[in-house]
Chains A and B, each alone.
Chain A
């Protein structure tokens, strides 16, 4: 399917059409936090933002998710209702790419029915970046401001309109359903989108040459850099909670009255309890070992298993860290370490 054009004065109608067909999720402010939330057809779409504070992973891998329910003292297990069809509108290419990276893990050997169930029923409409954030480094880890991996449709803001590029069968179907509100895109439109993509790529100010890092990390296991780079760490875990590729979770039972549920929730390798044995022994007793594991997981172990770095360069861990720990600087130290 060829690219089309959506005039901005028809954005409301486009959003309404999407919302009528499926459960639509768009970036919405909750207090000061921008995150993907369900919206209805009457929403006033606002697609002017840098990136959401909480990555789009929260829609397919919720912060807390019910695995099943039961009644206290009974043995019947009740499964949650089936997944609804969803559309995510306005996803930045880094966050979409992160979902396709995490797909590897959740479909590895044993399929994760909750994650994959949501993924299958989710259509991702992306929005190319034009003003990369100060800590963005997507182009260093295989992405880019207009990367299409993990997206079904890519929108590019042309000023008065959006260029709409369907990328997958799911994306084409979605666009066909909204067919009449689109205009034909001219070759000028395509060219200006291409030019905007290139300009955005040139605006990315931070970078790291990642070649050789996965191979070098094993040799730095006992290196002094881990103590050095984790010295300031408070162990708050924000770097992993807001990371679009972090997928680790805890499983807990919750009881309210006679109703019980088993749920899973985001967990962080930066927490001491994450690896704490019942005996009191902890194989990763300090932030040195936890930081070393976090970097190795993203830039070494995941690469060994799935041949891709588990980092998309969104820069959230850098921007959100209360003590300015910077993953690019850590990687730089890895490269320079003897």
Chain B
């Protein structure tokens, strides 16, 4: 937010484009939005990993990760699963409609510290949304990193977000892109199997590497186990946490895991930090 702004008052934003990533009861819709106010656009600056409160006047707000990298342009993207009251109302919005945005909130992936390293993202389902800014950021600065490996899976091909982007990336020689689904499907030309298994098959070297994983808790548990098997140190493993939030800046109280607030101290944590935090994987 701008320095002098009331942190509870959101910016108005216009939906420039919107499309479905997945269909079904818990469908995911991506919104590409631009802040209406020119001064707000000037103040706004986000980094991969940060979040924003997105909502509608008269309905409410929820916290979402910003699913684009600042390297992509002067807009914001949110990929939102329809799950409750706020997300249902957001899904009803179309191009040209107004939504509210405030933020950006939280810490970020330390992209600068990771320069020169091999970046490995391991995502499952909607968990790819917070990883997407890393992928886009590294792609835009590929000469500054030792490489980019992506492992991404979902239950079915219909549950994969950003599928077109992954298909494009898997054709590139300078990226290592691995898509997988849980069960065999007709017409599916990529891998079949769970994400943690896929990780063992890809078998990335821990040398000079950073692994970032986001996805369902059960997937994260097995990915962490497998990363340890591959000799990744705790300091080389990162994830993001999520909890119910209301304010986004450490006042309303509810998002804490132990003494850490996910909204301020997170959402990005290294496993070295998290392994000693009670509640972190509750």
Cross-chain contact B258 with A274 (CB below 8 angstroms): no
Flag whether B264 is at the interface (Cβ < 8 A).
yes
Which parts of A274-317 form the interface with B (CB within 8 Å)? 274-279, 283-284, 289, 293, 296-297, 300-301, 304-305
Asked if residues B8 and A110 are in contact (CB atoms below 8 Å), the reply is no
User: A251 to B61, Cβ gap below 8 A?
Assistant: yes
The B181-215 residues at the A interface (CB cut-off 8 A) are: none
Partner of A110, one of B61, B249, B253: B249
Cα(A324)–Cα(B1), bound, Å: 45
| Residue A72, interface by CB 8 Å | yes
Q: Give the one of A79, A267, A278 with max B CB within 10 A.
A: A278
From residue B112, how far is it (CB to closest CB) to chain A in Å?
Answer: 22
| A 95-141 contacts with B by CB, 8 A | 105-106, 108-114
Give the contacts of B201-251 with A (CB-CB under 8 A). 242-244, 246-247, 249-251
Known: A68-B9, A276-B244. A248 touches B253 (CB 8 A): yes
CA distance A284 to B280 in the complex (A): 11
CB distance from B199 to the nearest CB of A (A): 24
Binds A, one of B15-23, B52-60, B143-151, B158-166: B52-60
B247 partner residues in chain A, CB cutoff 8 A: 249, 251
Give 1 or 0 for each of A224-268: 1 = CB within 8 Å of chain B CB.
000000000000000000000001111111010000101010010
Contact of A75 among B7, B98, B250, B257 (CB under 8 A): B98
Q: Is the CB of B252 within 8 A of A250?
A: yes
Assess A105 versus B251: contact at CB under 8 Å? Given A68-B8, A304-B259. yes
Q: Are A301 and B251 in contact, with the CB atoms below 8 A?
A: no
Residue of A at shortest CB range from B5?
A: A113
Does B256 sit at the interface, judged by CB under 8 A?
Answer: yes
Contacts of A249 in B (CB 8 A): 246-247, 251-253
Of B6, B8, B60, B253, which contacts A252 at CB under 8 A? B60
Q: How many A-B residue pairs have CB under 8 A?
A: 108
Q: Is the CB of A277 within 8 A of B259?
A: no
**Which residues of B are found within 8 Å of A79, using beta-carbon distances?**
6, 9
**Which of under 10, 10 to 19, 20 to 34, or 35 or more describes the interface residues of A?**
35 or more
**Does B68 belong to the interface (CB within 8 Å)?**
no
B251 CB, nearest partner CB in chain A, Å: 6
Interface magnitude class on chain B: 35 or more
- In the assembled complex, which residues on chain A have CB atoms less than 8 Å from the CB atom of B7? 110-113
B87 contacts partner chain A, Cβ-Cβ < 8 Å: yes
List the B side residues contacting A296 at CB < 8 Å.
Answer: 258-259
Instruction: Name the B residues within 8 Å of A68 (CB-CB).
Output: 8-9
| CB neighbours of B264 from chain A (8 A) | 109
Of B249, B254, B282, the contact of A267 (CB 8 Å cutoff) = B254
Q: Are A301 and B244 in contact (CB under 8 A)?
A: no
A200 to chain B, nearest CB (A): 33
Please pick, from B6, B9, B61, B251, the residue contacting A247 in the complex, using a CB distance under 8 A: B251
- With an 8 A cutoff between CB atoms, is A62 at the interface? no
Residues of B within 8 A of A105 (CB): 250-251
B72 within 8 A of A: no
Chain B nearest CB from A258 CB (Å) reads 10
Cα separation A264 to B242 with both chains bound (whole Å): 22
In the bound complex, what is the Cα–Cα distance between A111 and B253 (angstroms)? 15
Min CB distance B282 to A, Å, is 4
Query: Contact mask B58-100 → A, CB, 8 Å, 1/0?
Result: 1111100000000000000000000110010000000000100
A48 vs chain B, min Cβ distance (A): 35
B58 touches A274 (CB 8 A): no
> Does A253 contact B87, Cβ atoms closer than 8 Å?
no
A289 and B256 CA atoms in complex are apart in Å by 13
B278: Cβ under 8 A from any A Cβ: yes
A260, B60: Cα distance in complex, Å: 11
CB distance from A178 to the nearest CB of B (A): 35
Return chain A residues, CB-CB under 8 Å to B256: 293, 297, 301
Residue on B with the closest CB to A218? B278
- Chain A hits for B179, CB < 8 A: none
Q: Is the CB of B60 within 8 A of A253?
A: yes
Taking A255-B58, A262-B57, A269-B254 as given, write out 14 further A-B residue pairs in contact, using a Cβ cutoff of 8 Å, ordered by the A residue number: A105-B250, A110-B249, A113-B6, A249-B247, A249-B251, A250-B246, A253-B59, A262-B8, A277-B244, A278-B84, A283-B257, A284-B279, A284-B282, A300-B259
Interface on B for A, CB 8 Å cutoff? 6-10, 12, 36, 57-62, 83-84, 87, 98, 242-244, 246-247, 249-254, 256-259, 264, 278-279, 282
User: Can you list 24 A-B pairs with a CB-CB distance of less than 8 A?
Assistant: A70-B57, A72-B57, A79-B9, A105-B250, A105-B251, A108-B250, A113-B6, A113-B7, A249-B252, A250-B246, A251-B247, A255-B58, A267-B254, A276-B244, A277-B242, A277-B243, A278-B62, A278-B87, A283-B282, A284-B279, A289-B282, A297-B253, A301-B258, A301-B259
